[in-house]
Amino acid sequence: MAGWRLVRTRLRAGIWEGVLEGSGTPPPLEARHHDRVLPGLAVTAQAGEQVVRVALPADLIGDEVQVVVIAVQGTGEVLASVPVIAGAALADDIRAEVGLLRAELDLLKRAFRRHVAGGG
């Protein structure tokens, strides 16, 4: 099974997508969260590529970090991991802080422009 690579392409509407790269017959894959195999993993051929889709269950979304791994069945070789960060865990994340700073900066820019324009 060596030589296979799974490259993330997007996460949209709770569906993680990636392209499986390698030659020959694709290995059987599974998506796992802790000791649970998640249903809904699909590998389809599209435009000469093997597209992998995994539906992330709603029960993964909560106040902590969850990680789904996509691995080769039987060997456990991990080809990709999907971190799911939400709620309180995200509040302490630096990206959330940067987002808040950007929002505050936008407010300040609008207020400054109104002040300079004489609008108060």
Condensed to tens digits (0 to 9), the pLDDT of residues 61-115 reads 888 889 999 999 988 899 999 998 887 766 677 777 787 788 888 888 888 888 8
The partner residues of 71 in beta bridges, in order of sequence, read 30, 78
| 41 backbone dihedrals φ, ψ, rounded to 5° | -80, 130
- Please give the residue range of the domain that contains residue 95: 87-120
Residue bearing tokens 């940067």: 98
Q: Which amino acid is at 79?
A: L
The four Cα atoms 55, 85, 10, 3 give a dihedral, to 10 degrees, of: -80
Residues 6+ apart with CB under 8 A from 30: 37, 38, 41, 70, 71, 72, 73
Could you tell me if 21 and 67 lie in one domain?
yes
pTM of the model: 0.72
Report how many domains make up the chain: 2
Could you tell me if 10 and 55 lie in one domain?
yes
